[in-house]
Structure 1
């Protein structure tokens, strides 16, 4: 599932291509035909993102809400658009560009009150200027749940997925199995600040790179990582490989039905 930086990039792309202009909308697949007809001809006032939710605010104050889920993808291009191929749920077209949406878990028109309900149930998003990390801290500090699970809970922090949670916990030297209520306040502040930094880098680069300058392939004289999930990382999907900092084999386990990666030396278990 795409992590939050990808959704913010999608919002920026929609704003660039369609923002402030009337859009044409259709549903070649047919599954969003009624919604597309309601969107067709409306002005896209603002493209926004909150966590993993893309929110396209229209002139009639309704919002086109898209959640990509596991299988959703976007294709952008210049007009004239080709004939739709595959199951295109929604095609938006403007003066010079088009966007095709395939396979989302959600594609729906929401009234303003429903959008507020959606956003109220999400935690703060490290990529949003209005994010309040203290809101997340109140949840974390009262919880017996492992911090690695809390960081994946979108009602606690909106946006991070498995890669960002593994990497930020490594970078901050936190045992991913540590209960939230045993995490020090200053350590939480460091985790949040690092998420802000890393995810903003992801928006700019379009991929997830988390290693510090001294641990890049060039600095260490090692081959670059080859993985479809992103760039250079410390522990994510590196089980059994040596830690880039201490050389200890990276460990993996399942926690709350998701794969967990960490270094037992750089992220020692709390006693």
Structure 2
């Protein structure tokens, strides 16, 4: 599932390309036909991301909400759009405020693609924890929940009601970078440890937005074992179960927590 940096990157691109101009919205597949008709021909005011949710705000006060889930993808194009390929849930075409260049995007396979009214948008964002990539994010809101919880830190970091936008890769890697066992109860985390985790997540995820990929291995450790799959990020522990730790050589362990794969080094992350 795409992590928060991917959605923020998409929001930035869609805002740059479409915001300020009238857009044509359709649903070649047909499953979003009624929703598309509500915003077709309207001006896209802005695009933004909250955690793993993408929001397109229109001048009518309506918002298109997209959650990519496991299989959702956007395909971006420049110039006139050709015939739709595959099951395109939503197609957007427009030239933005400038009007010189036509752009398009096709959405396939999302978990959610729906039109929301303002109170529904407010309810959606109210359910989410602070997003490290949003400038007004308040990390104390997440800390207040973590410090009182008996749930593991590994579970809490993946709970979008606690922290929005963090996925399995960032969860595994930030805990390794700070030597924290994913099984440690949240209430045993110190405020100093939380402050360091938050600051690191902010920086790592901003790098992800800028570069369009996850970068988590420090330069001095970026040698030896290759990425877990060709074309994927180099990691300390994520998807490296059974391999030696990049730092200490211990075997990286794996388990399943709340239905998601969990990876950690028992020596570098004791407890």
TM-score by structure 1 length? 0.96
Unaligned runs of 5+ in 2: 96-101
In the aligned structure 2, how far is the partner of 1:183 from the partner of 1:229? 34
Aligned counterparts, 1:20-39, within 5 A? 20-39=20-39
Secondary structure, in 3 states, of the residue corresponding to 2:154? Answer: helix
Of 117, 132, 144, the match for 1:111: 117
What per-residue deviation string (whole Å, max 9, x for no partner) do you get for residues 16-68 of structure 1? 11011110111000011111111111111010000000011100111110000
Name structure 1 gaps, 5 residues minimum: none
Who is 1:254 aligned against? 256
1:11 aligns with 2:11: yes
Of 174, 185, 191, 1:179 maps to 185
Query: How far 1:232 sits from its partner (Å)?
Result: 1.4
Q: Distance in 2 between matches of 1:27 and 1:254?
A: 38
Tell whether 2:56 aligns with 1:44: no
TM-align CA RMSD: 1.1
Do 1:28 and 1:89's aligned partners in 2 also have CA atoms closer than 8 Å?
Answer: yes
Asked whether the 8 Å contact 1:250–1:263 carries over to 2, the reply is yes
Match of 1:158 among 164, 167, 173: 164
The residue that corresponds to 1:73 in the other structure is 73
Counting only pairs closer than 5 Å after superposition, residues 123-162 of structure 1 correspond to structure 2 as 123-162=129-168
Matched, 1:238 2:240: yes
Contact 1:44 1:57 in 2 (8 A): yes
Cα distance in 1 for residues equivalent to 2:34 and 2:62? 14
Change (3 A) 1:137 1:116: same
Aligned residue for 2:53?
53
> Hey, what's the Cα distance between the residues in 1 that align with 2:53 and 2:179?
30
For residues 59-85 of structure 1, the C-alpha deviation after alignment (integer angstroms, 9 at most, x for no partner) is 011111000011111000012111001
Moved beyond 6 Å, runs of 4+: none
Tell me the equivalent position of 2:94: 94
- The 1:229–1:252 alpha-carbon spacing in structure 2 relative to 1, beyond 3 Å, is farther
Residue by residue over 1:99-119, the C-alpha shift from the partner in whole angstroms, topping out at 9 and shown as x without a partner, is: 000011111111111100000
Matched length: 265
5 Å matches for 1:223-234?
Answer: 224-225=226-227, 227=229, 230-234=232-236
Against the structure 1 CA distance between its residues 242 and 146, is the aligned structure 2 distance closer, same or farther, given a 3 Å change threshold?
Answer: same
Alpha-carbon contact 1:65-1:109 (below 8 Å) kept: yes
Q: CA deviation at 1:229?
A: 7.4
